[in-house]
Structure 1
Amino acid sequence: MPLVFFGVLGFVAILVISLTVRPWFTESHARGGERADRGGASTLVNRNTIVLTAMSVIGGFVIYGYLGMYPAFLREGLRYSPTTTGTVMSLYGLGALGSIGGGWLGDRFSPRLVLGLAFLFAAALGFLMFNGSGAVLPQVMLSFGWGIVVSSIIYVNLGGYHVKSLRRSLASRASGIFVTSLYGSSSVAGYVMGWIATQGGWAAAGTIQLSVLSLVAATLALALRPDQMSA
């Protein structure tokens, strides 16, 4: 039943968007070819795209490791009921509603700062979720924070900076690289985290896949060159 409701909401969203959103909201018209295509690299093989691709692969493991295995941790590790588990996970979705603000941060501040700090926060949150208190309230707060940091900031700005790293004429390819790299790793993220949990326990799984990988991504953010991105 919940999935049916979710699907119905999707159709409602399609109807609302088709009736209310106008082309000017999503479509831009360039005044001059060269002016519209300035800024960003003219080839896919450039420093920023390579670094962001590596970070997106890590992001897939981090984001979807959580989505795939955190509910299992709540049920098996903390013995939460299905209702309580659903409540905790709902707070993640609530945090993800901050995506507009996350995108604003990405436009206003340096990608080194935005992604670097966001991945550092993700490392801390991931560690606390799997190594901290098992009480419901702390887990609810951590899940909400995870939604803000990971979905509203990291996910949104990884995609945005991929586009900014290339000329506007290559924007579609930039989006393709982002989707392929992030969802490629996400396809095995749950399996990998489950394997780590089986071998070393939930604490090890959370520490390795969420915290350690996030620290690696935060370090990679320092290699980005904002001056080579489009405005």
Structure 2
Amino acid sequence: MQILCDLGCLERPRLPIMPTDLSPKCQHLLQILSRLIEHEFHGLIFVAQRATVVILKSLIECYSDTKDKIRCGGFVGMSNIQSRTNLGNWHGDIRSQEDTLAKFWAKELDLIITTNALEEGIDITACNTVISFDRSLSLRSFFQRRGRARQGQSTFIIFVGNTQEEGELRKLIKIEDGLMKTYRDDTRAVSNSPFEEASCFSSEVKSTVLK
């Protein structure tokens, strides 16, 4: 964050952003968004760091295939500490964060890029797309984020980077399938201790959709 702040205010590029200017990960995200905006689109992108919220928002607003096609907002939480930086005056501002949520509810915004601040505890309108841009997730975060995609025919995407992560994903999908099968079994014996059943939710989840 300090390094980015030292760079000064973000400015819109004078030249169009080309795919070759971007990392493969950002290219893929923009390709996904370009396909999604062909239909009614209302979604969230989860990232790990506040700086990533600002950078992705700026990128989506400048890239030719998404510019003026996605109404995008940023959300980093409503902390009582007002931390204004060169990365944007909305950064940590409670009033602007509340305004972002209100516009999303009213469908004046199509997309919010957010940290884990929107995983739980804040009422958010139903989405049809949830993207986890940064891979590392706990099982709890996995369920919370997927739960935000409550509209019918929703899509939940988690980015993975290599075959090892893909293998971890496949193992975790099996764990999830086993949990769902167990909890749908009306004949199963219920544990006397809620902590015994809750302990199975400590595993790490990497992805549910390979992209």
TM-score range, shorter chain: under 0.3
| Structure with the larger RCO, 1 or 2 (CA within 8 Å, 6+ apart) | 1
**TM-score under structure 1 length normalisation:** 0.23
Structure with bigger strand share is 2
Structure with bigger helix share is 1
**TM-score under structure 2 length normalisation:** 0.24
